[in-house]
Amino acid sequence: MPIASGKRPLIGFSLYDPFTAEMVRDIDEVDFIVIGDSLGMVFKRGSVRDTRLGDSLYHLRAVLSVIRDKPIYVDLPIGTYEEPGRAVENSRRVVEEGGYGVVVEGYWPRTWDALARAGIPYIVHLGYTPKYMDRPRVVRGDEGAKLLEMAREAEYRGAEMVKLELVETGIAGRIAEELEIPVIGVGAGPNVDGHILVIYDFLGLYPGFTPKFVKRYVDLIEIGRKGVESLVRDILTGRYPGPEESY
C-alpha cells in the first residue's frame, strides 16, 4: 500500500509516457502510478479493449525510465487475467519488467485468490467497468449494497486497494467507511480515501472527452499549437535560426 489510508487523500495518476512522468516525478504527494488500459483511448484513439499486454509493458518501461521511487501498477488488459493461472503468469511479467502490482477490473474472486497466493499486489476495480460495459453508467441507489458486498470480498481476498469508477457519492463514501483498505475513486465523489485520475484528461491532452468528473486545469494542446505556430512563423520569416541558434 503506498501510504496509510486516512492520513491524507491518496493520489494516483494513469499515465503512459516519459513526458507526463516528468511532470509528476518530483511531486511527493503523488503516491502511485497506473499504466491504465485507457492508453487504448489516449494513444490508439480506440477503446480500452484495444490495449494489449505488450502495449502496457512497453509503456511501463517508458515510465520507469523516469520514475523509480513510486509504485507503478499495470491495469491488466481484457483477456489477460480472467483465468487465474493466466493472471498470475501475466502479472509476473509485469513484476519482472519493474512494475509493483496490477489492477484487476471486475468481479473475479478466483483470480484475486491466485494473485494473493502468488504474493502479487493488486487493486480491484469495481463500479463502472468499461472493459465489459458498452456505455458508461453510474452506480446508484439499491445497487450500492451489491457493490459494497463485492468490495468487502475483494478486501477479504487480499486486495491492496479498491478502485470505484462512476459511483454515487453516498455509496462510495459508505464503502470507504466500511473497508479497512483504501478506497480510491474516479467519478466517485470526495468521500473516498483517494483518487486515481487519467492525467491527460486534466491537462487538455485528450480533447473531446469531458465527462462530468473531469476538471481541465490547462490546455497543453492549445499551448503547444501556439508554440508550433510561432516556430513556423519564425522559420518562414527568417528569424529562426538566428545567430543565437547557429554555430
**Catalytic positions, written as ranges:** 165
Residue 238: burial class (beta carbons within 10 Å; 0-12, 13-18, 19+)? exposed
CA gap 170, 146 in Å, rounded: 14
CA gap 166, 140 in Å, rounded: 9
**Which DSSP string corresponds to 189-240?**
-SSSSEEEEEHHHHTT-STT---TT------HHHHHHHHHHHHHHHHHHT-S
Between the CA of residue 218 and those of 21, 25, 222, 231, what are the distances in Å? Answer: 17, 18, 9, 21
Backbone φ, ψ for residue 185 (5° rounding): -135, 160
Judge whether 18 and 65 are in contact, CB under 8 Å: yes
Between the CA of residue 47 and those of 19, 164, 194, what are the distances in Å? Answer: 22, 19, 25
The one-character DSSP state at 24 is H
Judge whether 76 and 103 are in contact, CB under 8 Å: yes
CA gap 59, 14 in Å, rounded: 11
Measuring CA to CA, which residue among 130, 210, 200 is closest to residue 163? 130
